[in-house]
Structure 1
Amino acid sequence: MFKIFIVEDDKQLVTLLNEHLHKFGFDTQPVDQFDSVLEQFERYSPHLILLDVNLPKFDGYYWCRQIRKVSTCPIIFISAREGKMDQVMALENGADDYITKPFDYDIAVAKINSQLRRAYGKFASTHGDRLIDIEGLKLDVERLTLTFQKQKVEISHTEVRILEELMRRSERVVSRDRLLEKIWDDQVFVDDNTLNVYITRVRKKLMILNIEDALQTIRGQGYRLLPNWGAQS
């Protein structure tokens, strides 16, 4: 049974989420103390988190960053904030998706199931080698890490899926549509800007490893990963 951790201070919404998620066989646990979200998360060890932005004590962006230090489990923001920058900030801080309030509960469940399938189910990366190595850049699909020389950086499930596709098709252009198909169910709508945010995050992770300008944007086509870091190894 999948466990969903609900970090939301609207008690009526929490009640409705609990009732609806239980109908679909999920186990849920709402946060009870908003100054110890991380501790409750670690005790419950959920498969997915529903996280509001506006919270007592610290906002959802803060808690998303704290959770990302210890876990890569899927995080979906649920918020009344509809602005583009709010959604960008959520993704930049480590979220996997963003749902604006008020929302349709069936769509919310579809997005939850989508993230769970990508992280743990039939769409999780299970084919081929679990370690992809190109010119010393090593992607560990299971451990969610990217390593180059003696440096290692942790990455999210979504970043893994993007890098896996780019590395398996190294030096070839990968279309935006192909990346979207690989990382999201096509029956769930995704703002095109979301992919831009994740590409930016992947570039930042590469830069932490001192790999710059390897991930190229091919205007009107997609993206290409050139292994030009080989000379550094």
Structure 2
Amino acid sequence: MFKILLIEDDETLFKEIKDRLTDWQYEVHGVNDFQKVMESFAQTQPDLVIIDIQLPKFDGFHWCRMIREHSNVPIIFLSSRDHPTDMVMSMNLGADDFIQKPFHFEVLIAKVQAILRRVHNYSSTTSDLRMWMGAAIDMESNRVKNDQGMIELTKNEIFILKLLVERKNKVVTREYLMDLLWDDQRFISDNTLTVNVNRLRKKLAEIGLGNAIETKVGQGYTAIEKVEK
């Protein structure tokens, strides 16, 4: 049974989300003290975190930063605000998805299932190292390392990189990436993929690979691999 940490201060909404997720056999935990979210996180050791942006004391962005300092656990943001920057901020901080309130519970369930299925499949089937442009991609630890340093990626970022590297020097369409990332494109915006790829590029730049993923306008992306002559 997967464990979910639901960080939501609206008691009515918390109970409704918990009941719906419990019906799908998920184990849902909450937060009693919103000043001690990280203590709840450490105690729960969740497989996925669902977090509201507007919270007492500190907002969801703060706690996302704190979680990302210690873990690559998948994170879904909830927000009642309609600012486009909220989604961009969420993705830049390392979130895996963003849901605007009010929402259909079927959408939430679909996103939870897709993310957990993806994470579970990779943890059980991708224990190998992949080499690309002189860098070692560790699919288990979500790390990329070369002689210039090491970076840690989120589950979405490592998956995007994996798909691109598997088809190096070929164009991988945006539609193909979205279909595999989120299973059903109805539940994902085009901008979310852009944010994820841009965040991946920024991290790769830290180890000298910022230009190794090229955008093919109107098509998709290509992971460049120079051919030795």
Q: Which interval holds the TM-score relative to the shorter structure?
A: over 0.9
Closer, same or farther: CA 213–150 of 1 in aligned 2, 3 Å:
closer
In structure 1, distance between residues paired with 2:150 and 2:200 = 14
Q: Is there any run of 5+ residues in structure 1 with no aligned partner, and where?
A: none
The offset of 1:26, in angstroms, is: 1.0
In structure 1, distance between residues paired with 2:215 and 2:133 = 21
Tell me the percent identity.
38
TM-score (norm 2): 0.93
Does 2:36 align with 1:16?
no
The offset of 1:102, in angstroms, is: 1.2
**Structure 1: which amino acid aligns with 2:5?**
F
Q: Is there any run of 5+ residues in structure 2 with no aligned partner, and where?
A: none
1:106 counterpart residue number: 106
**Structure 2: which amino acid aligns with 1:185?**
D
The offset of 1:188, in angstroms, is: 4.6
Tell me how many residue pairs correspond in the alignment.
Answer: 227
After superposition, the CA RMSD in angstroms is: 1.7
In structure 2, distance between residues paired with 1:192 and 1:7 = 27
Does 2:67 align with 1:90?
no
Does 2:72 align with 1:72?
yes
Secondary structure of the residue aligned to 2:98 is: strand
Secondary structure of the residue aligned to 2:156 is: helix
The offset of 1:127, in angstroms, is: 5.4
Secondary structure of the residue aligned to 2:65 is: helix
Secondary structure of the residue aligned to 2:22 is: helix
**More displaced stretch, 142-151 vs 55-64:** 142-151
Displaced runs of 4 or more, over 4 A: 125-129
The offset of 1:220, in angstroms, is: 1.1
**More displaced stretch, 77-86 vs 180-189:** 180-189
The offset of 1:212, in angstroms, is: 2.9
How is 1:1-233 mapped onto 2 (pairs within 5 angstroms)?
1-121=1-121, 124=122, 130-186=128-184, 188-227=186-225
Closer, same or farther: CA 222–61 of 1 in aligned 2, 3 Å:
same
Secondary structure of the residue aligned to 1:82 is: coil
Any conservation in 2 of the 1:75–1:95 contact (CA below 8 Å)? Answer: yes
Any conservation in 2 of the 1:110–1:188 contact (CA below 8 Å)? Answer: no
Secondary structure of the residue aligned to 1:34 is: coil
**Structure 1: which amino acid aligns with 2:156?**
T
**Structure 1: which amino acid aligns with 2:11?**
K
In structure 1, distance between residues paired with 2:106 and 2:184 = 16
TM-score (norm 1): 0.92
Any conservation in 2 of the 1:162–1:179 contact (CA below 8 Å)? Answer: yes
In structure 2, distance between residues paired with 1:129 and 1:41 = 26
The offset of 1:182, in angstroms, is: 2.2
Secondary structure of the residue aligned to 1:146 is: strand
